[in-house]
Amino acid sequence: MTLSYPLQSLTAHPPRLSPGYKSTVKRSPTKPLIPMRHTLSELTGPVYGHETVRENDNDLTLQGKGEPLGERIIVHGHVLDEDGRGVPNTLVELWQANACGRYVHVVDQHPAPLDPNFTGAGRTQSDSEGYYRFVTIKPGAYPWGNHHNAWRPAHIHFSVFGHSFVSRLVTQMYFPGDPLFPFDPIFNSVTDEKARNRMVSDFDLENTQPDWALCYRFNIVLRGRNATPMETK
Amino acid sequence: MSKAQSKPEGVTPSQTVGPYFAYGLTSNGKYDWNDAFSNNLVTADTSGERVRVEGRVFDGDGNPMVDCMLEIWQADAQGRFSDPQDKRALPNSSFKGFGRCGTDADGRYAFDTIKPGIVHDPDGKPQAPHLVLAVFARGMLLHLYTRIYFGGEAANTTDPVLVLVPVDRRATLIAQQAHCNGNAVYSLDINMQGDNETVFFDV
Ligand SMILES: [Fe+2]
């Protein structure tokens, strides 16, 4: 299958310079990016298979000696291309704060407790239809220094590869109805409301497991659509 | 498991990798986690000229970016990619061509790899040896793509991508051979802004 990667797909992304998110000011280029045609270097990409992902890497509640604290959740969905086809066998990496809003990372100084039974890191490979599934703990909101009383809405970071190096995506999954949405410059850096809502997972009652865990569905749509002769000129 | 949805309305928007990716995404030995990736691409069966590519990453104030994640993607020494979409035979089958590196407290990165071979452009014109580099960081809502070429390559003057770049900015894409004790070391800094702002590509 040959896919093309029109630049038009990139309009859903946030502008790199989004001054409400202060760190973008010194970390975004000032000169225009230079257009070029995709060569094989852009149209191919890394493939990481079963040798990378260990059994249970997708269950973040099994990494410690005991169960982590917090609300156990299932997060699942499909990795799709822009035509809605599943992206099979692609690596999905995830990292997140614990239930208290604290990351294991040494730089995180938020005075909330660490959980010895929770690293907050997981990974899996999508199946032949692009489906993936994680079991984890619902992350807490956490404060950050962007402006007075700044709090990030609860989110899970995702990193996905897809079919080529230009389909590479790092994003954040949010939870429906978060009251912090209107105040978060990172969430709102995506200016189009429909596009923004594609970062918000859906509560999934059908796949919620009785007496065990709530479920959220999060489909991840990567660049790439069917190549047509017009587009591959 | 339920069915995939019908045709999506668009891609999922990108968000910053943030400051806390290291324990999940990069190899650093600090956390109890089985590292998937490293900055050393060389495997036992990798043929080609061994090179180290290193440098530092700076923000618009000239301060080192100590929380960057860099990824490279490259062909093998024969110009083939470790991707099923590249149908050619791949004798060095364990060479993946992909590396990931978090910058250190000085904003420094380094990749140990091999100099890639020639990859042709869509018109069949040869490109000079290059790595594709993706830059992720806190403060970057969408990663940036650039390329790393190798100083001293005659093919740099006719490379179909380099010729698109204004002459006075091409140096920001060409790593210069630094010192040589055993393996060749190439050095290139990444500057987000400023007089030597790195050329990034709209791909
Ligand atoms: Fe975060």
Distance B23 CA to ligand 1 centre (A): 12
The predicted-structure confidence for B4-24, as pLDDT tens digits, reads as follows: 457 899 999 999 999 988 877
User: What tokens appear for B146 in the block?
Assistant: 């650039």
Q: Which residue of A has its CA nearest to B81?
A: A44
Distance CA A174, CA A200 (A): 5
Characterize B17-46 residue by residue with b for buried, 16 or more Cβ atoms within 10 angstroms of its Cβ, and e for exposed: bbbbbbbbbbbeeebebeebbebebbeeeb
Neighbours of ion ligand 1 (CB under 5 A): B 18
Residues 90-119 of A with CB under 8 A from B: 91, 93-95, 97, 103-108, 119
Q: Give the integer Cα–Cα distance in Å for B32 and B50.
A: 30
A46·B164 Cβ contact <8 A = no
Continuous H helices in chain B:
22-25
Q: Which one of B16, B26, B143 would you mutate to disrupt binding with A, by most A Cβ within 10 Å of its Cβ? A: B16
Q: Which two tokens stand for residue B51?
A: 């090179």
- Encode pLDDT of A84-107 as tens digits: 999 999 999 999 999 999 998 888
Residues of A known to be catalytic = 103, 142, 152, 155, 157
Supply the pLDDT for residue B28: 58
Residue B33: predicted pLDDT: 58
Flag whether residue A194 sits within 8 Å of chain B, measured between CB atoms. Answer: yes
Q: Pick the closest to residue B5 from A219, A158, A3 (CA basis).
A: A219
Interfacial B residues in 97-116 facing A (CB < 8 Å): 97-98
* Angle (CA) B83 B86 B90, round 5°: 75
Average pLDDT over residues A113-134: 95
Question: In chain A, which ranges are E strands?
Answer: 3-4, 34-35, 72-80, 91-96, 121-125, 131-137, 142-144, 150-152, 155-160, 169-174, 202-203, 214-217, 220-221, 225-226
pLDDT value at position B85? 87
The pLDDT, as a whole number, for residue B192 is 98
pLDDT band per the 50, 70, 90 thresholds, residue B2: very low
Is A230 within 8 Å of chain B by CB? no
Q: Report d(CA B89, CA B76) in Å as an integer.
A: 11
Cβ within 8 Å of residue A159, ≥6 positions away: A92, A93, A94, A169, A170, B17, B21, B25
Q: In Å, how far from its chain's centre is CA A78?
A: 12
Residue in B closest to A75 by C-alpha: B1
Q: Which residues of A touch B143 (CB under 8 A)?
A: 168, 170
B96 within 8 A of A46, measured Cβ to Cβ: yes
The amino acid at residue B182 is G
Cβ pair A12:B33 closer than 8 A: no
CB contact under 8 A, A190 and B13: yes
Element (H, E) at A194: helix A193-197
Taking CB atoms and an 8 Å limit, are B4 and A48 in contact across chains?
no
What does the pLDDT read at residue B31?
A: 53
CB-count burial class (<10 Å; 0-12, 13-18, 19+) for A228: exposed
- Report pLDDT for B87: 86
Contact B76, B114 (CB under 8 A): yes
Give the H or E element holding residue B113: strand B108-114
pLDDT in tens, B140-149: 999 999 999 9
- Residues ≥6 apart with Cβ < 8 Å to B114: B41, B42, B46, B47, B48, B49, B50, B51, B76, B77, B95
Q: Which of A42, A46, A169 comes nearest B97 by C-beta?
A: A46
Inter-chain touch A103–B23, beta carbons under 8 Å: yes
Q: Give residue A228's pLDDT.
A: 60
Question: Chain B contacts of A166, Cβ < 8 Å?
Answer: 145, 203
ipTM over 0.90: yes
- How many interface pairs between A and B have CB atoms less than 8 angstroms apart? 270
Tell whether B134 lies on the interface with A, counting CB pairs under 8 A. Answer: yes
The number of beta carbons lying within 10 Å of the beta carbon of residue B135 is 23
Q: For residue B7, give the chain A residue with the closest CA.
A: A84
What's the whole-number average pLDDT of chain B? Answer: 91
- The nearest CA of chain B is from the CA of A216 a distance in Å of 12
Q: Rounded distance, CA A121 to CA A141, Å?
A: 17
Say which of B15, B165, B199 has its CB closest to residue A186.
B15
User: Whole-angstrom Cα distance, residue A99 to residue A138?
Assistant: 6
pLDDT of residue A233: 36
Distance CA A128, CA A169 (A): 20
Could you give the 3-state DSSP secondary structure of residue B184? strand
**In A, which residues are within 8 Å of B100 by CB distance?**
none
Residues A127-168: tens digit of each pLDDT: 999 999 999 999 999 999 999 999 999 999 999 999 999 999
DSSP classification of residue B154: G
Q: What is the pLDDT of residue A54?
A: 85
Report the percent of chain B where pLDDT is more than 70: 92
Segment B181-188 shows an average pLDDT of 87
> For A166-220, what is each residue's pLDDT tens digit?
999 999 999 999 999 999 999 999 999 999 999 999 999 999 999 999 999 999 9
Distance B109 CA to ligand 1 centre (A): 23
- Res B24: pLDDT: 75
Which residues of chain B make contact with A12, given a CB cutoff of 8 A? 10-13
- Euclidean distance between CA atoms B47 and A45, whole angstroms: 20
Q: Which has more pLDDT, B70 or A49?
A: B70
Average pLDDT rounded to a whole number, residues B162-183: 91
Chain B residues with CB inside 8 Å of A18's CB? 141
**Nearest residue to A177 via CA among A143, A151, A201, A194:** A201
Taking only the tens place, the pLDDT of each residue in B20-65 is 888 778 765 555 556 678 899 998 888 999 999 999 999 999 999 9
Task: Report the pLDDT averaged over residues B65-80.
Answer: 96
- Report the candidate in A183, A196, A198 with the shortest Cα–Cα distance to residue A143: A183
Helical H segments across A8-148, by residue range: 40-43
Q: Tell me what pLDDT residue A231 has.
A: 43
Chain segment A17-65, per-residue pLDDT in tens: 999 999 999 999 999 999 999 999 999 999 887 677 888 899 999 988 9
Residue B3 in this model has a pLDDT that exceeds 60:
no
- What does the pLDDT read at residue B125? 96
Per-residue pLDDT band for B96 (boundaries 50, 70, 90) equals very high
